[in-house]
Chain A
């Protein structure tokens, strides 16, 4: 039997990486540094998906977010002038509102957590362990299976929406097509 991957050590490690990465994203003045911190956080998130026995989601997370979208982010950041950003003030004076919102959200998380687990155990045992080997196939049958598939329409519509957005972007950016 394989030793479980989902040990508290890995969880704390990844969660700490994500939180530190998230904090760095907003505190760095240089936009490129922020983007690098964001990539770190996204990779840690992919690892968290792995811990949840969802390797397919983790792989897609790496390809799409870390490998695809963040490259475009970096592209755009490189083309703008960073000198001006460095001189501007980074935070505005809405920390009171922001703090209240953060507290409310944190309170919500804690209350949900306490309600579902009874506040006893951080890592409740005895839950269903999913067959890691079947994750990709399960997603595929959820999406495309004739009998069990129920999300195919939503999936296709979402891809159509993305196509419309791409065409719209091209039409708006190009003066003459």
Chain B
């Protein structure tokens, strides 16, 4: 028993990712954890999207299945699994069958390199970001083949439309990414493509890359933020699945389980591209203001940080409490709604369920205050919180922006984002290599251009 504890202890205090340590067992554990976490995130996203959209449109959203519709995603999943699975008679059966799996595989494989923390990644690759872009570009193949294999006109046209969109926006995305990668080479001399290395570079330079080279980093981030919405086929660029105007696009002929695979892939792809954005520009697992520690304070003895060498600034302490506090707040929200539930006896089970859910959330919050846990989950918490911010943005876009027309979409991709990206790349290189050239040439040029207007 002691040996087992020692063994687990050794890996909990390891300073390597399981892939880096070459431990297949722990890598498997991490893969299962990431897969489970993703599935929970997709379920949560499904519920949150409907709820938030509903509240934006002054509706209630799902309210029937479970308290405040909390069990709605599960009901939907069961419905999708039980639905009749139709394959069109003239369809190419093998490819029709394979296509959703290609999309799902591409969407899930990228999480191998996503750094939830300095040691909390399945593995760290020398080509991390390249791997993510490459594997996620494979999902286009799944979409194209899905449209073709259906052997029907709407899916075929839809597939051509969505693959044209994804291929176009991949270019803009790549250019934005390259400008961020250039920034990693400052101060250390050699840049890196490794996802963990990129966050480490931001840590070493003491700045998130959004704020680096002031307008440049922000522009690159903005470009990526636009391109990633188009890349994941979400509103306002959701032409591939504009069911109200253009039929449903490439998955028109899909139903039941296979359709739910596309759904799953779409949401996990959204999380994947958001994690790229978080890693490259928003400091990955770093908490806000990572280099500011605040005045040194004596943390009460009952609550020492697990790592004695950790900085003991007031800000460090406050930020370390954030994960626990946010879960406690979620729990408190549940209890507030428990008290607001209808008092009719028919609602008793739902009320108890909601109270139980709140209790679980509060318990998780309390566990996160334990120093040993706190120090190890803080990085995961900040990473997930930033990704969650992006998820909210996706829903917000969907609730507010009207859909683009296809020619407008192509115009934005090729005539706005691509030239901006190229200019951005040159500007970043000039600023990084020769700051004096930047101030001597580019700034006056810009001022002259502005004065012309």
Contacts and interface: CB of A to CB of B under 8 A. Distances in A.
Interface in B148-174: 148, 156, 159-160, 163, 167, 170
B160 A75 contact: yes
A85 B13 CA distance: 61
Contact of B137 (A32, A55, A63): A63
B145 A33 contact: no
Given A56-B127, A59-B134, A63-B130, A71 B167 contact: yes
Contacts of B126: 55-56, 132-136
B127 A78 contact: no
Nearest to A60: B130
Contact of B190 (A1, A78, A137): A137
B242 interface: no
A136 B137 contact: no
B193 interface: yes
B235 interface: no
Contacts of A74: 141, 144-145, 148
Interface in B333-387: none
Main secondary structure of the interface of B (DSSP, over half): helix
Contacts of A32: 92, 95, 145, 148
Interface string A1-32: 11100000000000000000000000000101
Contact of B22 (A2, A30, A136): A2
A67 interface: yes
Most chain B CB neighbours (cut-off 10 Å) among A55, A63, A68: A63
Given A56-B130, A63-B130, A135-B126, A68 B137 contact: yes
Given A32-B95, A71-B140, A135-B126, A62 B160 contact: no
Contacts of B95: 32-33, 36
Interface string B8-29: 0000000000001110000000
B135 interface: yes
A62 B141 contact: no
Contacts of A55: 125-127
A70 interface: yes
Contacts of A66: 134, 137-138, 141
A99 B324 CA distance: 70
A58 interface: yes
Interface string A28-48: 001011001001000000000
B109 to A, nearest CB: 11
Interface string A64-87: 001110110011001000000000
A36 B390 CA distance: 34
Q: How large is the interface on A (under 10, 10 to 19, 20 to 34, 35 or more residues)?
A: 20 to 34
B133 interface: yes
Main secondary structure of the interface of A (DSSP, over half): helix
A136 B134 contact: no
Contact of B138 (A3, A56, A59, A67): A67
A137 B193 CA distance: 10
B131 interface: yes
A55 B125 CA distance: 8
Contact of A3 (B22, B135, B145): B22
Given A78-B160, A135-B126, A136-B127, A67 B137 contact: yes
Given A1-B22, A67-B140, A133-B126, A36 B134 contact: no
B131 A59 contact: yes
B163 A71 contact: yes
Contacts of B127: 55-56, 58-59, 135-136
A73 to B, nearest CB: 10
B185 to A, nearest CB: 10
Interface string B111-139: 00000000000000111001101110110
Nearest to A132: B126
A136 B160 contact: no
Nearest to A43: B138
Interface in B55-111: 92, 94-95, 98
Contact of B141 (A71, A132, A133, A136): A71
A66 B137 CA distance: 9
A74 B140 CA distance: 10
Contacts of B134: 59-60, 62-63, 66-67
A149 to B, nearest CB: 15
A78 B160 CA distance: 9
A78 B158 CA distance: 13
B135 A78 contact: no
A66 B163 CA distance: 14
Contacts of B20: 2
Contacts of A132: 126
Contacts of B137: 62-63, 66-68
B138 A62 contact: yes
Nearest to A2: B22
Nearest to B174: A63
Given A1-B22, A71-B163, A59 B141 contact: no
Q: Which 5 A-B pairs have the closest CB atoms?
A: A67-B137, A59-B130, A62-B134, A2-B22, A63-B134
30 contacts: A2-B20, A2-B22, A3-B22, A32-B92, A32-B95, A33-B95, A36-B145, A55-B127, A56-B126, A59-B127, A59-B131, A60-B134, A62-B135, A62-B137, A63-B134, A63-B137, A66-B134, A67-B134, A67-B137, A67-B140, A71-B141, A74-B145, A75-B144, A75-B160, A75-B163, A78-B160, A133-B126, A135-B127, A136-B127, A136-B192
Given A62-B135, A67-B170, 5 more contacts: A32-B95, A55-B125, A60-B130, A62-B134, A67-B141
Interface of A: 1-3, 30, 32-33, 36, 39, 55-56, 58-60, 62-63, 66-68, 70-71, 74-75, 78, 132-137
